Amino acid sequence: MKCKICSLVIIVAVFACTAFSESKIEDPYKIKSTYIISFIKYLEWEKKDVLPDDQSPIVIGIYSGEEENAQKYYSFLEGFSKIINDNPTMQKKLSKNHPLEIKYFKALDEITPCHILFIPSLKTLFNLRSSNESHKTADILNPIVKKLDGFPSLLVGDYEGFAETMGGHINFVLVKGRIEFIINLAALKKSGIQVRYSLIENAYDPNKGKKE
């Protein structure tokens, strides 16, 4: 991997998982949860009132209904956030000294503004029968965005087409047994969130079939 993300590789090693590495899948929940928290280091929210001071928490929300998988993601994220908040050095590297807060939304009406919103079970939420339907569902994120009420949330998913055709910002994909992520730069530019190039260059490019 490129040296620009060496610090992330070290963090991942602490959690005994393989995000930002070349290893095969060990535990997808750990990997994706670590990815999500690791993204914070590379994000800048343009609106100052989104993080008004150093003590303002960075809120990570999970919206996926009652699914067991969602509970596992929540448990991992909550566990990681506690480790980071208890470790000032790690916290400085990943969350820029901000405490982390994890929220779990079981229904659309429960969603409140958050800095990162992870939607791990899009297929179940919207009764999508196959990935072939993704091109018909470009507007399914609209109700979610509306609930965020203009708050610049990073939208992360793990369903085929989430970033490519549905308007999501980052999507997890499985490539040759490895978990990679795709970034929708066009959507991010409209979101009020800036992302560092060092994250972009390590994203998976489905058109090229490899990272740039």
- Residue located via tokens 């470790």: 87
Question: Do residues 54 and 98 touch, judged by C-beta distance below 8 A?
Answer: yes
Quote the tokens at residue 144. 């979610």
SS3 150: coil
For the chain, where are the alpha helices, taking DSSP H only?
6-14, 28-39, 68-85, 88-95, 122-125, 142-147, 185-191, 197-200
- Say what the pLDDT of residue 90 is: 85
Question: How far is the C-alpha of 168 from the C-alpha of 197, rounded, in Å?
Answer: 18
The full set of domain ranges for the chain reads 3-205
As its CATH architecture, domain 3-205 has 3-Layer(aba) Sandwich (3.40)
Residue 65: name the closest of 113, 2, 108, 12 by CA: 108
SS3 174: strand
Dihedral angle computed from the Cα positions of residues 174, 125, 145 and 171, in that order, rounded to the nearest 10 degrees: 0
Q: pLDDT tens digits, the chain, 212 residues: what are they? A: 444 444 443 343 343 333 444 335 567 888 898 899 999 999 999 988 899 888 899 999 998 877 777 888 888 899 888 888 888 888 888 888 899 999 999 888 899 999 999 988 665 555 544 444 444 455 668 888 888 888 999 999 988 788 888 889 999 998 888 899 999 999 998 999 999 999 999 999 887 755 54
Question: How far is the C-alpha of 140 from the C-alpha of 168, rounded, in Å?
Answer: 10
Residue 204 Cα distances to 3, 29, 40, 156, 185, angstroms: 17, 19, 18, 14, 12
Question: Do residues 119 and 140 touch, judged by C-beta distance below 8 A?
Answer: no
Residue 174 Cα distances to 89, 112, 117, 171, angstroms: 31, 29, 20, 10
Question: Do residues 6 and 13 touch, judged by C-beta distance below 8 A?
Answer: no
